[in-house]
């Protein structure tokens, strides 16, 4: 299979998962995670109609933005350090990996006011693994309240990375994130319509559990470079 076939297959699986859950497949956006993938293979996903690209490192994203057509939506999925906030704010349209109120504030303050605000997602760690980045579940509402006042960054939802252990373990995590989102939106009055969850091994269960953004790398690019 080439990259275009793999994109078609991922799209079919997203559509099937959405139908199983009684959801509109158009409510799920496919973000092709292109970290470590060269421009030639990325052009193939663009030719297949993908407009959303995910990267986890600033210099790599800067280089690719120069090489690739305009009009794409660039998603930051990697950890954001506060000393890189201005570069992240310049390069990316969507940041999935905001893990604290202070990162939200740094990004918003550094966004060019002439541009649309960054669309931000709060990364939540539900695994409790020490090295993992992300806000803990009991900290979500505080960050949402504080990010709601930030200019230059508009908080649109929550993101998580499932623990290892297969799709059914991932499903629990995704269902929990969705419930936490519902609760935080009600408690704060701040709508959080987006749920970024699901990667190559678990994007179908993520769609069944309400993902609006799936971040897929290997299922599209494995073997493409
Ligand atoms: C690499 C990465 C992905 C894509 O992972 P695959 O398993 O290749 O689909 C998604 N989200 C984040 C945060 C990543 O770092």
- Atom of ligand 1 at shortest range from CA of 35: 1
From the CA of 213, how far away is ligand 1's center (Å)? 12
Task: Pick the residue whose CA is nearest to atom 14 on ligand 1.
Answer: 77
**What is the DSSP annotation of 128-179?**
--TT--SB-GGGHHHHHHHHTT-SSEEEEEEE--PPSS-HHHHHHHHHHHHH
pLDDT, averaged in runs of 10, over the chain (225 residues): 94 98 98 96 97 97 96 97 96 98 97 97 93 94 96 98 94 98 98 98 98 98 72
From the CA of 113, how far away is ligand 1's center (Å)? 30
- Atom of ligand 1 at shortest range from CA of 222: 8
Task: Pick the residue whose CA is nearest to atom 4 on ligand 1.
Answer: 217
pLDDT for residue 223: 66
pLDDT for residue 138: 96
Q: Looking at the chain, how many residues does it have?
A: 225
From the CA of 80, how far away is ligand 1's center (Å)? 15
For residues 49 and 53, what is the distance between their CA atoms, to the nearest angstrom?
11
From the CA of 33, how far away is ligand 1's center (Å)? 6
Contact present, 61 and 33 (Cβ < 8 Å):
no
Whole-prediction pTM value? 0.97
């Amino acid at each position: 299979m080439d990259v275009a076939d793999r994109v078609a297959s991922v799209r079919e699986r997203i559509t099937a998962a959405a139908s199983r859950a009684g959801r509109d497949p158009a409510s799920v956006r496919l973000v092709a995670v292109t970290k470590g993938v060269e421009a030639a293979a990325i052009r193939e996903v663009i030719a297949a109609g993908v407009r959303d690209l995910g990267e986890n490192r600033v210099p790599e994203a800067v280089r690719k933005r120069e090489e690739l057509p305009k009009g794409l939506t660039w998603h930051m999925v990697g950890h954001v350090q506060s000393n890189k906030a201005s570069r992240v704010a310049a390069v990316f349209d969507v940041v999935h990996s905001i893990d604290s109120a202070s990162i939200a504030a740094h990004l918003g303050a550094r966004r060019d006011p002439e541009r649309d605000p960054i669309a931000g997602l709060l990364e939540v760690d539900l695994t409790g693994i020490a090295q993992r980045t992300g806000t803990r579940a009991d900290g979500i509402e505080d960050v949402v309240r504080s990010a709601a006042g930030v200019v230059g960054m508009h908080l649109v939802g929550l993101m998580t990375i499932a623990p290892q252990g297969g799709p059914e373990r991932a499903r629990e995590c995704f269902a929990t994130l969705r419930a936490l989102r519902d609760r935080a939106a009600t408690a704060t009055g701040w709508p959080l319509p987006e749920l970024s969850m699901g990667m190559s091994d678990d994007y179908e269960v993520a769609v069944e559990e309400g993902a609006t953004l799936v971040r897929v790398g290997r299922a599209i690019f494995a073997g493409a470079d």
